Amino acid sequence: MIDFSLLNNRSNNCELDVIAFCIKLKYMQKTGILILALLILLLSDIDALAVAVNYNVQTSGVSLIPTNNKLEELIMISSDVDLCQVLMAENQRLILEVRPNAWQGNARIFPYEGTQEAGTFWSHFLMASENWLTDKVESEGLRLLSFKPCQGHSKIAHYSGEWAFRDLFISKKTHWLWASNGTIFHYVSTNLLVLSEIPDVSAIWVELMNNRNVYNSVATQVGHKIIERAVHGDHLSDPHFHDLDEFVLDENGWITIYGARAGQKGSSALVPIKSSHPVRPRLYDSHVDNIELHMLDPKAKRTLNKNDIFQLDYLLLVNTETETETWDWVEPKINQSTEVISYIKNTYQPKRGCALLSE
């Protein structure tokens, strides 16, 4: 008996062909005729046996991304075991470089135009306790558990990975990016699972780190107010100067660093989309200039319990299209992203192309 269940993904016309073919098979008694018929079917319409569609591939002449935004063609390549890059297909311009092991999933990111980096992007969760910080400066850092890049040409490049810190927690992320209208959009879904009790935890966060004094200003939207700060890095009395910790972002909140100087191009913003905990903005104005999204109140240490979960979906916007001496560009870019984010949520599911982390 022949199982034709693999033929379900054909078009309607193909389904009619298969049904007709199955009827004819009832009258084929000789093995040689049966094998020949199957070979003819396979060679004439091999698409009949397609079991899965990789929605990350843009087929020539077919628009798989229903969007009003003109998305650029991207290429994701992995040239060695610990290097993954995303380039603009048209001019081979590098827009992301990630080392899953050596950099623990950190990425160097670049703007649509200009020669300098837009910053170092720690896109999955960091954690700090009284005795350690989970980078390779104040601890042994995170160890890589898995990394899955979806290589090749696409309008939306993406990869997923997970990392562990000792036997204390696992941090996961899926990172999508696309380029449109002079802006690189990064959409990240990250979560952290606590494996065993962790005392004295002071912070869990993601960040965009820049060199000292390459931007003039930071602004955050809290409710309907815009709060602005100067960036100068000269806090002699506090070498680890933090600001904006007292604010909590609502559904309209964001934080941006802007006013490029020292050869920098454009400006960037972090925008929380969905979170398991209240999200706080932070400016770290010191030997580096960071904008950050925090999941905990920095004024109190606490003990995390086994199976505690922290979840954050958010945007990083890297803009060179519009005037970036102010923060006015942020809201229009958020609005531009919504259709693509909706498409990602509806399309990029497990068993469709590369395996992704679930929401």
Q: Determine phi and psi for 339, rounding to 5 degrees.
A: -65, -40
pLDDT band, residue 358 (cuts 50/70/90) = very low
Among 15-29, 61-75, 255-269, the minimum mean pLDDT is found in 15-29
Rounded Cα–Cα distance for residues 90 and 137 (Å): 38
pTM score, whole prediction: 0.78
Q: What is the pLDDT of residues 84-111, one digit of tens each?
A: 999 999 999 999 999 999 999 999 999 9
Single-letter code of the amino acid located at 157: A
Percentage with pLDDT > 90 across the chain: 53
- Evaluate whether 254 touches 271 at the Cβ level (below 8 Å): yes
Give the pair of three-digit tokens for residue 3: 């199982």
Q: Which residues pair with 20 in a beta bridge?
A: none
Residue 239: its pLDDT value, please?
Answer: 53
Would you state the pLDDT for residue 261? 78
Half-sphere exposure of 257 (CA within 13 A, CB side): 33
Contact status, residue 76 vs residue 150, Cβ threshold 8 Å:
yes
Q: What is the pLDDT of residue 38?
A: 43
Q: How far is CA 100 from CA 60, 93, 148, 184, 199, in A?
A: 32, 21, 10, 21, 28
Read off the tokens for 297.
Answer: 């109140």
d(CA 193, CA 310): 7
Query: At 314, is the pLDDT very low, low, confident or very high (cuts 50, 70, 90)?
Result: very high
Q: Where are the domains of the chain?
A: 5-49, 74-347
Residue 211 CB coordination number (10 Å) = 16
Task: Report the top-level CATH class of 74-347.
Answer: mainly beta
Give me the mean pLDDT over the 218-222 stretch.
95
User: How does pLDDT run across 288-303, given as a tens digit for each residue?
Assistant: 788 999 999 988 899 9
**Mean pLDDT score across all residues of the chain:** 79
Q: What pLDDT band is residue 326 in, cutting at 50, 70 and 90? A: confident
At 280, the amino acid letter reads R
Q: What SS3 class is residue 351?
A: coil
Neighbour tally for 352: CB within 10 Å = 14
- Determine the Cα–Cα distance for residues 86 and 74; give it in Å rounded to an integer: 7
The pLDDT, as a whole number, for residue 359 is: 31
What pLDDT was estimated at residue 1?
35
pLDDT one-digit tens code per residue, 230-280: 887 665 555 566 789 899 999 899 999 988 876 777 889 999 999 999 999
At 327-342, the pLDDT tens digits run 999 999 999 999 999 9
CA distance 67 to 21: 39
pLDDT confidence tier of residue 324, bands split at 50, 70 and 90: low
pLDDT > 60? residue 41: no
Q: Which helix (H) or strand (E) holds 188?
A: strand 183-194
